[in-house]
Amino acid sequence: AYTDSELQIALIALFSEMLYRFPNLVVAQVTRESTQQAIANGITADQIIHFLRTRAHAVMLKQTPVLPPTITDQIRLWELERDRLRFSEGVLYNQFLSQVDFELLRDHAKELGVLVF
């Protein structure tokens, strides 16, 4: 980024790894880890992409799209990775005396809306 603004640099550091810092120039790399850390801190993939699009260099702004789709897709995929698994508290019932007993309990849990399966 061509900037000497401390605010801009701090914002960039929220979702990237800072590599080099010179007067009027900052070099940073958007990585899986930096993106997921930003997401864990409440920043969404869409916010990161919006920031990159709105502050793109003039040469980049001449391109359509401004950011390559591979970049935006990857940032969104990193966000989705974090939400792949959802944890739920539950109780495991096993060793039923019969298949019928299992099905009765399963159906009852479904009716109550508490079945995690």
- Write down the pLDDT at residue 89: 87
pLDDT in tens, 39-95: 999 999 999 999 999 988 888 889 899 999 999 999 999 999 987 777 888 889 999
Tell me the pLDDT band of 3, cut-offs 50, 70 and 90.
confident
- Write down the pLDDT at residue 68: 92
* Integer Cα distance of 70 and 79 in angstroms: 14
* Integer Cα distance of 79 and 73 in angstroms: 10
Contacts with 78 (C-beta within 8 Å, 6 or more apart), sequence order: 32, 35, 36, 39, 45
pLDDT in tens, 33-55: 999 999 999 999 999 999 999 98
Q: Locate 18 and state its tokens.
A: 């800072």
